[in-house]
Amino acid sequence: MPELDEFSFLPAQAAALGAAVPPVSRVDLPLADGRHLSGLRWGDAPPAVTLLHGAGLNAHTWDTTLLHLGLPALALDLPGHGDSSWRDDAAYVARVLAPDVISALEKWASTPQVLVGHSLGGLTAAAVAASRPDLVSRLVIVDITPGVDPSAGPAQIRAFFAGPTDWASRDELVERALSFGLGGSPEAAARGVFLNSRVRADGRVEWKHHFAHLAAAAANAGADPTTPDAVRAVLASTGWDDLTEVAAPVTLVRGERGFVTAADADDLARRVAGADVRVLGTGHNAQEEDPAGLAALIREVAVGDPAR
């Protein structure tokens, strides 16, 4: 059996949709401080859409959405996630992450982008759009607003990542995910674990993203791994400042069972002039629960036509 790599799952995913697999390649950008930013380039043409994932995920969370979308795109691994470098200061907040995204857009995008961000990626996308309006033609934020409590995720997710930081095999990780009710089907959980973990030199398996290690360290030290109230207040303040300064049209996609409530969406619509609010019948990870619906919405925003 051939050894799996990060692109091994795409043919089966595409076949299930009746779609062809476009060219997809890993790209890497050295940064001035010695770190590097990684991502996936979809298609041969310059990207029209750039996508930023949420905390604890990586660029592959968008795979099925991009198979539906059928447009040239760039999906980035945020710092501390996927194949991008971890930050020594563990400062994974929007305004700190935005400069790296800006560097990537300057390098890999030749035209202003439809910038799509989920959760932490949505707040980061807003910071990018506010500081560099020349790089963003439209902002789409998925199930996040600055008013949402960043520690409001399901308790089982926090407990899941606050557990051990390494395992003997990926099969152990898959079993753990399924035991916590995460990952969907066994096949989907196996794919997600493979794409979000790595095998160390000693043969042990660990999560690629820094968040799991930070959560485990906090839990082992007896600390609360959630964000303190004072920090939440600062994040909300800077997030609203960023959103209200965005010159590009703004679309909020709210999952009916996600983190953003109807009141949160109304608050955004009141604060951000002309904001368009859409609702999908999903939880927080709309890109994985309804990739076709999200792709249709992104396509409508990008080219004015929701049909594939």
Q: What percent of the chain has pLDDT over 70?
A: 89
DSSP SS3 for 217: helix
Pair (34, 117) in one structural domain:
yes
Pair (168, 130) in one structural domain:
no
Is 143 among the catalytic positions? yes
Range of the domain at 28: 23-150+227-303
Q: Please report the pLDDT score of residue 234 as a whole number.
A: 46
Strand order across the beta sheet in which 166-167 lies: 166-167, 205-207, 197-199
Pair (194, 255) in one structural domain:
no
Residue 258 lies in a domain: yes
Q: Which residue in the list 38, 84, 85, 119 is annotated as catalytic?
A: 119
Q: Please report the pLDDT score of residue 153 as a whole number.
A: 58
Domain final residue, candidates 224, 247, 280: 224
Is 284 among the catalytic positions? yes
Residue 14 lies in a domain: no
Pair (121, 218) in one structural domain:
no
Give the number of domains in the chain.
2
DSSP structural state of residue 73: E
Residue 3 lies in a domain: no
Domain final residue, candidates 206, 224, 242: 224
Is 44 among the catalytic positions? no
Pair (176, 71) in one structural domain:
no
Q: Which residue in the list 197, 264, 284, 290 is annotated as catalytic?
A: 284
Cα 87–234–125 angle (5° rounding)? 60
Pair (206, 249) in one structural domain:
no
pLDDT tens per residue across span 89-112: 999 999 999 999 999 999 999 999
Pair (48, 145) in one structural domain:
yes
Q: Which residue in the list 63, 77, 143, 290 is annotated as catalytic?
A: 143
Decide: 47 and 40 in contact? Cβ < 8 Å.
no
Residue 286 lies in a domain: yes
Pair (72, 185) in one structural domain:
no
Band the pLDDT of 222: cuts 50, 70, 90. Answer: low
Residue 32 lies in a domain: yes
Residue 5 lies in a domain: no
Among left, alpha and beta (phi > 0; psi -120 to 50; other), residue 43 is left
Domain final residue, candidates 224, 246, 268: 224
Pair (166, 133) in one structural domain:
no
Residue type, 150: P
Residue 9 lies in a domain: no
Pair (39, 89) in one structural domain:
yes
Pair (297, 194) in one structural domain:
no
pLDDT tens per residue across span 264-274: 999 999 999 99
DSSP SS3 for 123: helix
Find the CATH number of the domain harbouring 74: 3.40.50.1820
Pair (143, 73) in one structural domain:
yes
pTM greater than 0.75: yes
Q: Is the pLDDT score of 231 beyond 50? A: no
